[in-house]
Amino acid sequence: MYLKTLTLFGYGQFHDRTFSLDRGLNVILGPNEAGKSTITQFITAILFGFPTKKHPALRYEPLDGSRFGGSIELVKDQVTYLVTRVDGPRGGRVTLKNLTTDLPLPATQLTTLLAPVDAQLFTNVYAVNEMRLGTVFQASKQVLTEHLQHVGAVGSDFWLAQAKTLDQTAETLYKPQGRKPTLNQLLQEHQTLRAKLAKANEAYTTYWQLLKDQRDSRQQQTTLQHRLTKQRATTDQLTHLQAQWSTFEQWQRLGTATDQPTAGFSQEDATELERLRHQLTASQTSAQANQRRLRDLQAHTQLSSLFQQYLRVPDQVDPLFDQLAAQTAAGQERDRLAATDQELAQRMGAIEQQYATADGRMPRPFSLQTTQTFKQAQADLQLATQKRRRLQQELNQLNAQYQAAQPTRRQRNPLADKQLGWLAAGLVVLVGAMFLPGTLFKLIGAVLGIVVGYYGVFIVDGETPASREAQQLTADIRDTQAQLREGNHRIDDLNNQIDAVGTSHGLDHLPVEQWFAAQTAIGEWERLTAQRQTVHDQLAQATAQVTTFMTQATTALPTLKGQSLTSILTQLRQLQSTQQRLITQNGELANLTGRIRQDQAAVKTAEHAVATFLRTRNIPDTATFYQTYQAIRDQGNRTAQRQALADQLGAETLAALQGFSDQHQLQQQVQTAQDQQQADQRQLDTVTTRLATLAGQLAQLTTNGTQTVLRQRLANLETQMRATTQDWLVARLTSQWIRATLLAASGDRLPRIVARASTFYAQLTENRYTKLDLTAETLRVRRAADGVWLTVDQLSRGTAEQLDLAMKLAFAVVMQPQAAMPLVIDDGLVNFDAQRRQAAYRLLTKLGQQLQIILLTADAAAAQPATGRRVLTLTT
């Protein structure tokens, strides 16, 4: 059986999304949160039912309110079925349809269609992720055997359930290390009763003495409790004072500051000084700037030779000044277009180098009809190739079966058809014996049932002669060979169609796999060709404009000949600036002289104001003023802080702290109080423990009972123990017989699974471990380098997960005739290193020829092209 399509109506983040799958390896590639785990849970939910609403995290209900559910199209025995499941009671409403015959089927037939695989087996074996790969640490021969019995023995589900029920019944009666089972509790009670009986005569001699000790201890406990309460209050008060000591020390330090004068050093005085200093600085800055400007005007009085040349032809040069901005933009545009043309040429050259023919011609692009025809031919070719590979595999299997069916094997015993009858008869006898009166009759009936079942399973031989299959195998081989010949003709026709498309479009020199990629490149090349022609036209226009301007400039000013456009534009701007500066220079010189005299007078006035401010406060400079001003502000801040600390401590706490000379004295009193409190607490704990002991002793003395009652209870208990032991023995023997019988029907597959898993594990670990051994408790592996056997818990996590993957792959391959289910791997290889992950991909691709594998991963290496591997991509 394999899954053909997945359609998600509304499931998690997906809405109306369909995925098509192949029979072999399907790689669904996507980053984190792209929906890989959602798809895995979707497959399980559609096939086996939605989780209940008690587990909302596993239901993946859509948040947009769309219809919850989906459908899966699956193929089994060359018949296509459609399974649809939407929200509803008991795992959702299911509809089943046979698409081959276009007939609806009862929903209950889905369980039969998937049998013998159920939700638990599918989750444990066929749905693989990182968390479930870790179950190899709990793997044992018993666990794998139960999986085999579930799949390999017809009707084993019922008997496994019966055996499990019997085991549970037996465990409720007795477990070697248990405490709650009935027989364990009876044994414990038996031991207790015997001890009570031995002490029954010694109880009353000490009872009155214990009562007196109890009254004295209670009086002492009350006294200690009152004293401990008072001591705790004293300790808490001293501890609080100790915690406030650092704040108290800050309060003391803030009270030692010296007073500072305040007249003339207020905030308003500081603001006034800043204003006077700003006026002085502004006057000095203005005077210095005017003097620099005067020197600059005097230095630029002489004119350059180019300006003198301009004075002879101003009527020719002045129009050029108006074009400076436009010509600057034109030059920049010319440079940009030239760079664009070069970039386009490089991109076209790269495409031509990759896709052009030997004579330099580019292939022609596909039309829409040609694209559709080519895609259809490729799809048909892939399907035909897969069908031929499948038919070849079927033919090989038929030939092997034909060779194996030759009449050289043993004939079947006539009693073989009655094998199941013997087994059923033995079970009926065994179950009936459980209802006989008396333990002896039950044991005799159980032994008789085991003997009858053993004869039916092990004595009767069930083999048939192979010659009965030869005629049917011969007809199947001929039919398969005819289908292979027809498929080869179809493949040849499709290859010829594809070659004709390549010849007509000039793609003969490229591999077929690159034709679609080449179409994108060919379209890009044609677009770049048209774009380059447009750039050529614009470049020619910009170049002509720049050339005309440079000709006009060099004709009027011959000194500029041979210079670049940038140099010409720069010198023309300098001429224009010099022209404008000379117009205004004469009037500006006169104005500068008057402003300089005004600035000098303002500087003197500001200096006098600052000196007067400092002299009235009897300080030499502004630095002294700011030092005094800051000291006054600090004194005010300390006063405010000291008052805030006093408010924080409180008047009572502050007065109590002042009563200690230093912190050491306070610490000594805290330590003394704590020691006294601990001593009182220890004494109280001792008295409390003594009271509890006395209460237990008194309770024990008053509940032991008399000797006569204890002896009767002991006799009744021993009778109950004998009956419980008989029930436990019957349940345990019956369970063991059922498991032994089922193991005989399916145990031959276990060695095959272990052998196949050894081969797979060697491939996954690159032959570092070459052999597996399945013990009754766990798995172990043999290291090839030195032959040492290692248990699973001695392996690294990644190596252990590779072992689990090998076991599950081997189980799926060996059990495929009975349970041909797809294998779903959800990011199960994250703990593999790069080399072993590649080995896993190669193994999964190879196994894709035998069973369907759906690999959901974020590793891009898994999406590398390979025969038999289909890649689907998810996006967040």
- 374-406 residue pLDDT tens: 788 888 888 888 888 888 888 888 888 888 776
- Mean pLDDT for the stretch of residues 197-217: 69
Distance (Å, rounded) from C-alpha 20 to C-alpha 22? 7
Least confident among 319-328, 590-599, 734-743: 734-743
Q: What is the pLDDT of residue 29?
A: 92
pLDDT digits (tens, 9 = 90+) for 420-439: 677 677 777 777 777 777 77
> Residue 840 pLDDT > 50, yes or no?
yes
Residue 315 pLDDT more than 80? no
Predicted pLDDT of residue 197: 65
Q: Which residues form the domain of 486?
A: 367-409+465-504
The yes-or-no verdict on residue 630 having pLDDT over 90 is no
Higher pLDDT, 29 or 588: 29
Residues 89 and 197 in one domain: no
**How far is residue 784 CA from its own chain's centroid?**
34
pLDDT exceeds cutoff 90 at 825: yes
Query: Residue 787 has what DSSP assignment?
Result: -
Q: What is the DSSP string of 537-560?
A: HHHHHHHHHHHHHHHHHHHH-GGG
Position 148 confidence tier, pLDDT thresholds 50, 70, 90 = very low
Digit-coded pLDDT (tens) for 592-601: 666 766 777 7
The answer to whether residues 358 and 481 belong to one domain is: no
Buried b (16+ CB within 10 A) or exposed e, 238-267: beebbebeeebeebeebeeeeeeeeeebee
413 has a pLDDT exceeding 80: no
Same domain assignment for residues 3 and 40 = yes
Within a domain: 637: no
State whether 99 and 41 are in the same domain. yes
> In sequence order, what are the beta bridge partners of 857?
29
Q: Is it the case that residue 418 has pLDDT exceeding 70?
A: no
Per-residue confidence (pLDDT) for residue 414, from 0 to 100: 47
Q: Are the C-beta atoms of residues 137 and 793 closer than 8 Å to each other?
A: yes
Query: How far is Cα 167 from Cα 53, in angstroms, rounded to an integer?
Result: 32
The order of strands in the sheet holding 103-105 is 14-20, 2-11, 69-76, 79-86, 93-98, 103-105
- Ordered DSSP codes for 701-767: HHHS--HHHHHHHHHHHHHHHHHHHHHHHHHHHHHHHHHHHHHHHHTTHHHHHHHHHHHHHHHHTTT
Question: Are residues 436 and 537 both part of a single domain?
Answer: no
Q: Is 445 inside a domain boundary?
A: yes
- How far apart are the C-alpha atoms of 612 and 619, rounded to whole Å? 11
Q: Which of 90-99, 462-471, 504-513, 860-869 has the highest mean pLDDT?
A: 90-99
**pLDDT confidence of residue 737:** 60
Question: Residue 54 has which token pair?
Answer: 């008690």
How would DSSP label each residue in 135-175? Answer: GGGG--HHHHHHHHHHHHSTTHHHHHHHHHHHHHHHHHH--
What are the pLDDT digits (tens) for 702-738? Answer: 555 555 676 777 788 778 877 888 777 777 777 666 6
851 vs 117: CA distance, rounded Å: 15
Q: What is the pLDDT of residues 745-766, one digit of tens each?
A: 445 567 788 888 889 989 989 8
Number of domains in the chain: 5
Peptide bond into 116 cis (omega under 30): yes
Mean pLDDT throughout 157-169? 66
Decide if pLDDT at 844 tops 80: yes
Mean pLDDT of 21-40: 91
- The CA distance from 540 to 533, in Å, is 11
Confidence of residue 587 (pLDDT cuts 50, 70, 90): low
Look at residue 258 in the predicted model and tell me its pLDDT. Answer: 53
More confident residue, 63 or 747: 63
What percentage of the chain carries pLDDT values higher than 70?
82
Query: Within this chain, do residues 48 and 110 fall inside the same structural domain, yes or no?
Result: yes
- pLDDT recorded at residue 4: 93
pLDDT band, very low/low/confident/very high, at 307 (cuts 50, 70, 90): low
Residue 79 has pLDDT above 90, yes or no: yes
522 and 397 belong to one structural domain: no
Q: Is 781 left (phi over 0), alpha (psi -120 to 50) or beta?
A: beta
User: How confident is residue 48, by pLDDT bands cut at 50, 70 and 90?
Assistant: very high
Give the range with max mean pLDDT: 415-424, 574-583, 761-770. 761-770
- pLDDT score at 597: 67
- Do 497 and 382 belong to one domain? yes
Which alpha helices (H) appear in 50-206, and where do they start and end? 109-114, 119-121, 130-133, 141-152, 156-173, 182-199
CA distance 472 to 247: 103
Residue 855 three-state SS: strand
Which strands, in side-by-side order, build the sheet including 789-791? 769-774, 779-783, 789-791
Phi, psi of 14 (to 5 degrees): -90, 145
Is 435 buried (19+), middle (13-18) or exposed (0-12) by CB count in 10 A? exposed
Residue type, 326: A
**Residue where the block lists tokens 């090998």:** 806
Query: Which one, of 324, 333, 325, lies nearest residue 539 by Cα?
Result: 333
pTM over 0.85: no
Residues in Cβ contact with 157 at an 8 Å cutoff, skipping those fewer than 6 apart: 116, 150
pLDDT at 822 over 90: yes
147-156, 239-248, 676-685: least confidently modelled range:
147-156
- 342 and 455 together in one domain: no
Last residue in a domain, options 721, 743, 765: 743
On whether the CB atoms of residues 450 and 430 are closer than 8 A, the answer is yes
Q: Quick one: what percent of the chain has pLDDT higher than 90?
A: 10
| Sign of the dihedral defined by the CA atoms of residues 753, 759, 762, 764, in that order | negative
Q: Does any domain span residue 66? A: yes
Do 386 and 454 reside in the same domain of the chain? no
The answer to whether residue 185 is domain-embedded is yes
pLDDT(242) > 50: yes
Domain co-membership, 88 together with 28: yes
Of 5, 11, 19, 13, which Cα lies nearest the Cα of 32?
13
Dihedral sign of CA atoms 246, 251, 256, 262 in order: positive
Least confident of 290-294, 471-475, 501-505, 790-794: 290-294
Q: Give the pLDDT confidence score for residue 748 in this predicted structure.
A: 59
575 vs 680, residue with greater confidence: 680
Average pLDDT, the chain: 78
Does some domain include residue 626?
Answer: no
For 12, the token pair is 């998690």
Residues 448, 401 share a domain: no
The model's confidence at residue 605, banded by pLDDT at 50, 70 and 90, is: confident
**Is residue 103's pLDDT more than 90?**
yes
Residue 295 or 489, more confident? 489
* 319 in any annotated domain: no
Question: Of 235-249, 275-289, 375-389, which gets the smallest average pLDDT?
Answer: 275-289
Residue 21 has a pLDDT of: 93
Show Cβ contacts of residue 711 under 8 Å, excluding neighbours closer than 6 positions.
197
Residue 142 inside a domain? The answer is no
pLDDT score recorded for residue 585: 60
Alpha carbon distance 495, 48 (integer Å): 43
Residue 571's pLDDT band (boundaries 50, 70, 90)?
Answer: confident
Q: For residues 560 and 573, what is the distance between their CA atoms, to the nearest angstrom?
A: 13
- CATH number reported for the structural domain that contains residue 103 in this entry: 3.40.50.300
Q: Does a structural domain hold residue 840?
A: no
Lookup result for tokens 């701007």 = 573
Strands of 869-873's sheet, edge to edge? 127-129, 823-826, 853-857, 25-29, 869-873
Domain boundary pick from 556, 587, 618: 556
Q: How confident is the model at residue 855 (pLDDT cuts 50, 70, 90)?
A: very high
